[in-house]
Structure 1
Amino acid sequence: MIYRLILFLILNFTALALGGIFTGKGVLSDWYIGLAKAPWTPPGWVFGAAWTSIMICFSIYMAYLWPGAENKSFILALYIVQWILNVAWSPTFFYYQQIFAGLMVITALTLLIGFFLFFYWPELKIKSGLIVPYFLWLLVATSLNGFIFFKN
């Protein structure tokens, strides 16, 4: 269990680091500062705290899911797609300034995490609660991206 957890922690925090490369500069850009943002947009520090907690919980979730999975290749494929979508959102939104494409990426990521949550709930039961913060945060993030798309 500990080795799986360490592996998923490394993979998930690598994704955060890669996304952070684009987010850091983008949040301070004139383009982003000038956008109309949702009134429920949290302060910047919340994003770092939320993502750190979420990735720890998601790593634990994946470490529990992996050993009991019947179709490991399917879970691996889902995880890889999740990883790519997670990394892709920041450059899509902040670097390329593609608000609609960012909305599509984050919507796909939200649906994928929702799939993890509901499809594997019977297998993991209460441990599925570990992925709930990720799903809820993505719902908020998707709403923020959607607001920016519709108001700008």
Structure 2
Amino acid sequence: MPVGGKPGSMELSGERTGIGRPSREGWRRYGVAAAAVTATAVTGARAVDADSAWYAALRKPSWQPPPWAFGAVWTPLYASIAWAAGHALGRTTTRRERTALAASLAVNLSLNAGWNWLFFARRSPVAGLADTLLLDLSNADLLRRTGRTDRAAARALIPYAAWCAFATALNASIARRNT
């Protein structure tokens, strides 16, 4: 049964407008979250050149996933970030809480896209490592803030945080092997 106990009512972002109709504000939050995540993915992807001679020449650990795995992993992770953000923002109870959660998400997505520019465009595994360490801290903050508002949304972010931690280890290994 949906929160509020009305059978058949549709809930989106914690707001109901009646049977089967999500509120405009609910749709707007999911749309803004999806647009922010899409902008992050596109901005980050513009910097990646995994076919470059520079990247091919890097010494990488044997446990690095194959190139196709990154797209296969990031696509559902980005979808889960968008869903979690839209859902959690709708569950906030104060403007202050909503603003803090949105700011935490904005910092997180900036660090997410920034890694590609530091690692690939600047060709700096060390700068990429610094960014991904900050991203891990940002993930912890985002999980904490989201968990205070919406535990289901926080659980949806756990695979993202776990993948970023793995990416940090991978980036650290590449930086160590190539400096």
2:58 corresponding residue in structure 1: 35
Q: 2:41 maps to which residue?
A: 16
Q: Are 1:83 and 2:106 matched, yes or no?
A: no
Amino-acid identity (%): 25
> Which has the larger helix fraction?
1
Cα offset, 1:138, TM superposition: 0.1
- 1:67 is aligned, of 90, 93, 103, to 90
Q: Hey, which bits of structure 1, 4+ residues long, moved more than 4 A?
A: none
**Aligned-residue offset at 1:67:** 2.3
Gap runs ≥5 in structure 1: none
Task: Tell me if structure 1 keeps the 8 A contact 2:44–2:116.
Answer: yes
Q: Give the distance between the partners of 2:169 and 2:158, measured in 1 at CA.
A: 17
So what's the TM-score if we normalise by structure 1?
A: 0.91
2:68 pairs, out of 40, 45, 64, with: 45
> Structure 2 matches for 1:72-151, cutoff 5 A?
72-151=98-177
In the TM superposition, residue 119 of structure 1 has moved relative to its aligned partner by 4.0
Letter in 2 for 1:21: R
Larger RCO (CA within 8 A; separation ≥ 6): 1
Aligned-partner residue type, residue 30 of structure 2: L
Alignment RMSD (CA, Å): 1.4
TM-fit CA distance, 1:2: 2.7
* Structure 2, unaligned runs of 5 or more: 1-25
TM-score by length of 2: 0.78
Q: Secondary structure at the match of 2:126?
A: helix
Shift of 1:124: 1.5
